[in-house]
């Protein structure tokens, strides 16, 4: 039954693509190309005219295909290294809104997860959901102690639906990789694998709760960002209960204006929050679209952000974090040569890249954006040009930087809405400089000593004995014994091979001599003496060959 369901789902996908006039995506795959001519001759295609762009039609098709494909399109919108700019911009408009599932099902899931009826766990529970998305929906509730909370419950059967659609995505990706002319460059199978990891992580509410708890601890007592508290006693793998927050959606400019919120301060604080998460905490909210960000207008001159939905969190390795900071630092100082060198040092571009050429290309892309307000800068166009430049030098966007890129694009969107005149570079530069000073210099040295001192003290008692053993081995030439043994083994192998070659030559020589003696005997020649001489020579040569192989 499973192959039948997959086939029917695949047929449904193709019908939806055809309905939206996206037959070129189907017939771009070589496997389906023989059917293209027959399809275009069909009567319903004779007078069909498409007024919308292919990007718009693709967005609408993904919305019709369902929530899993909607989230896939949202993820694709962040991969501007793979998509043309118009597709990335259009897919970013995908809305993750689906009808809610019945409240009876939600209540049943919650009661099973918390092990008690909702009327015992909560003083109040609103059966009508506050919000509904592809993965989960949210209900408002009140605890017995009077505290307001929200209950997020994962959709029933969502895992089965996700696995079904992922299997089909893999099939389509494999076909595209094999038959589509751009399949090798766009790496569709790797894209689907990346999406699979992201969406499966979002299904685990315990993981989301842990992310929220860590982020709350990072910004404890912060005046810039507030993270609601997790109610751990009522949280499980498919249900999360959190403190309910009150705030204004960050994209509701009219409501923010009524509260006299300082938009400039709000925009600058958003930038600082981003760089704090990435460089100071190395733990950043990677789904900062307007639906997940609210504003606390209690202090309009110093507004505070409130974040929700912590299913997608990003972090960097220490080396990537450092290289990224140095890249930002070099960008801000317009040191394009250093940017090019860092890309080579980090392995992001091949080691044989000509630094001068790469430097010139980076300068061409970056120089026009400096000293201009955010409203005059298109980061979408900037990133597109940067990735096009990178492809010329065989650079592939690092997977670990994709979530960071997505977050940066969200920050750009928020900045445009809040304060279009914000100079992103001017706001971020002092933060990056301070971070660099903390990482290099006396402070960094002191922090390194403090971090590694316990390990050093742990090893210290055994250090004199280790040094003594090493000196003894060096005195007895034991330090090189492994190397010498390997050398002797290679030498022995070489000698054996040489002996075999010599044996073959001796065999050939013996056969040659025997042939001469045989011919001599056939002609009755007596100048070599008795016949036993020829047999003796042949036997001696044969013995030498056998002996050489036995060694």
pLDDT tens digits, residue range 358-369? 899 888 888 877
Q: What is the Rg, in whole angstroms, of the alpha carbon atoms belonging to the chain?
A: 35
- For residues 413 and 410, give the distance between their C-alpha atoms in angstroms, rounded to a whole number: 5
Across the strands, what pairs with 84?
none
Residue 45 has pLDDT above 70, yes or no: no
The reported pTM is 0.69
Categorize the per-residue pLDDT at 230 as very low, low, confident or very high, splitting at 50, 70 and 90.
very high
Mean pLDDT of the chain: 76
Listed in sequence order, the residues at least 6 apart from 318 whose beta carbon sits closer than 8 Å to its beta carbon are 282
Task: Please give the helix or strand (H or E) that residue 122 lies within, else none.
Answer: strand 122-125
Question: What are the pLDDT digits (tens) for 467-500?
Answer: 767 777 666 666 554 444 444 455 555 555 555 5
Looking at 23, 165, 287, 296, which residue is catalytic?
287
Would you call 519 exposed, middle or buried from its count of C-beta atoms within 10 A (0-12, 13-18, 19+)? exposed
Query: Which of 57, 77, 61 shows the shortest CA–CA distance to 69?
Result: 61
- For residues 33 and 206, give the distance between their C-alpha atoms in angstroms, rounded to a whole number: 46
Question: What are the pLDDT digits (tens) for 530-546?
Answer: 454 444 444 554 444 44
Across the strands, what pairs with 149?
141, 243
Q: What would the mean pLDDT of 275-295 be, rounded to a whole number? A: 86
Encode burial over 256-285: b for 16+ CB neighbours within 10 A, e otherwise.
beeeebbbebbbbbbbbbbbbbbbeeebbb
Chain centroid offset of residue 423 CA: 29
Q: Are residues 224 and 299 in contact, defined by beta-carbon separation less than 8 angstroms?
A: no
Across the strands, what pairs with 370?
none
- For residues 113 and 232, give the distance between their C-alpha atoms in angstroms, rounded to a whole number: 12
Task: Please give the helix or strand (H or E) that residue 226 lies within, else none.
Answer: strand 225-226
Q: Are residues 140 and 150 in contact, defined by beta-carbon separation less than 8 angstroms?
A: yes
Listed in sequence order, the residues at least 6 apart from 496 whose beta carbon sits closer than 8 Å to its beta carbon are 551
In 244-360 the beta strands, taken as DSSP E runs, fall at 248-249, 284-285, 293-296, 304-307, 313-314
User: What is residue 111's predicted lDDT score, i.e. its pLDDT?
Assistant: 95
| Residue 287 designated active-site | yes
Residue 135 has pLDDT above 80, yes or no: yes
Share of the chain above pLDDT 90, in %: 24
User: What is residue 231's predicted lDDT score, i.e. its pLDDT?
Assistant: 96
Dihedral sign (CA 28, 12, 73, 282):
negative
Structure tokens given for 156: 């029933």
Residue 9 has pLDDT above 90, yes or no: no
Query: Which of 65, 62, 63, 92 shows the shortest CA–CA distance to 77?
Result: 92
- For residues 294 and 306, give the distance between their C-alpha atoms in angstroms, rounded to a whole number: 5
Other C-beta atoms lying within 10 Å of the C-beta of residue 255? 14
């Amino acid at each position: 039954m499973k192959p039948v369901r997959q086939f029917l789902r695949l047929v449904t996908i193709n019908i939806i693509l055809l309905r939206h006039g996206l037959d070129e995506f189907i017939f771009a795959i070589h496997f389906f190309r023989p059917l293209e001519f027959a399809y275009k001759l069909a009567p319903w295609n004779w007078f069909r005219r498409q007024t919308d762009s292919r990007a718009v039609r693709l967005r609408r098709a993904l919305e019709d295909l369902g929530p899993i494909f909607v989230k896939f399109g949202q993820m694709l919108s962040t991969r501007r290294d793979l998509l043309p700019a118009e597709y990335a911009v259009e897919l970013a408009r995908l809305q993750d809104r689906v009808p809610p599932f019945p409240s009876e099902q939600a209540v049943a899931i919650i009661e099973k997860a918390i092990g008690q009826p909702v009327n015992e766990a909560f003083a109040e529970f609103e059966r009508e959901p506050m919000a509904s998305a592809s993965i989960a929906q949210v209900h408002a509730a009140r605890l017995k102690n009077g505290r307001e909370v929200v209950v997020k419950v994962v959709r029933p059967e969502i895992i089965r639906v996700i696995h079904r659609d992922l299997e089909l995505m893999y099939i389509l990706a494999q076909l595209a990789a094999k038959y589509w002319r751009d399949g090798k460059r766009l790496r569709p199978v790797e894209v689907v694998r990346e999406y699979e990891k992201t969406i499966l992580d979002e299904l685990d509410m315990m993981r989301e709760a842990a992310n929220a708890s860590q982020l709350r601890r990072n910004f404890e007592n912060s005046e810039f960002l507030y993270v609601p508290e997790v109610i751990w006693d009522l949280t499980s793998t498919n249900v999360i209960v959190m403190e309910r927050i009150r705030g204004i959606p960050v994209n509701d400019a009219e409501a923010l204006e009524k509260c006299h919120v300082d938009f400039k301060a709000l925009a600058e604080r958003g930038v600082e929050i981003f760089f704090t998460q990435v460089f100071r905490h190395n733990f950043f909210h990677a789904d900062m679209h307007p639906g997940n960000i609210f504003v606390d207008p209690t202090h309009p001159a110093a507004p505070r952000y409130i974040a929700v939905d912590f299913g997608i969190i990003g972090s960097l390795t220490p080396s990537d974090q450092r290289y990224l900071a140095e890249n930002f630092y070099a960008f801000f100082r317009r040191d394009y040569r250093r940017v090019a060198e860092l890309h080579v040092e980090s392995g992001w571009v091949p080691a044989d890249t000509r630094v001068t050429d790469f430097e010139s290309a980076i300068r061409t892309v970056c120089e026009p954006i400096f000293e201009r307000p955010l409203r005059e800068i298109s980061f979408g166009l900037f990133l597109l040009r940067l990735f096009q430049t990178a492809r010329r030098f065989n650079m592939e966007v690092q997977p670990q930087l994709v979530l960071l890129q997505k977050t940066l694009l969200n920050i750009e969107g928020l900045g445009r809405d809040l304060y279009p005149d914000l100079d992103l570079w001017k706001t971020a530069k002092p933060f990056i400089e301070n971070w660099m000073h903390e990482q290099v210099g006396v402070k960094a040295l002191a922090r390194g000593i403090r971090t590694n001192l316990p390990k050093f003290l742990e090893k210290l008692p055994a250090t004199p004995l280790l040094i003594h053993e090493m000196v003894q081995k060096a005195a007895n030439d034991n330090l090189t014994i492994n190397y010498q043994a390997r050398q002797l083994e290679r030498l022995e192998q070489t000698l054996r091979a040489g002996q075999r070659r010599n044996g073959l030559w001796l065999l050939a020589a013996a056969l040659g001599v025997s042939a001469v003696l045989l011919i001599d005997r056939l002609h009755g020649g007596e100048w070599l003496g008795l016949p036993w001489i020829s047999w003796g020579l042949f036997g001696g040569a044969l013995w030498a060959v056998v002996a050489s192989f036995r060694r």
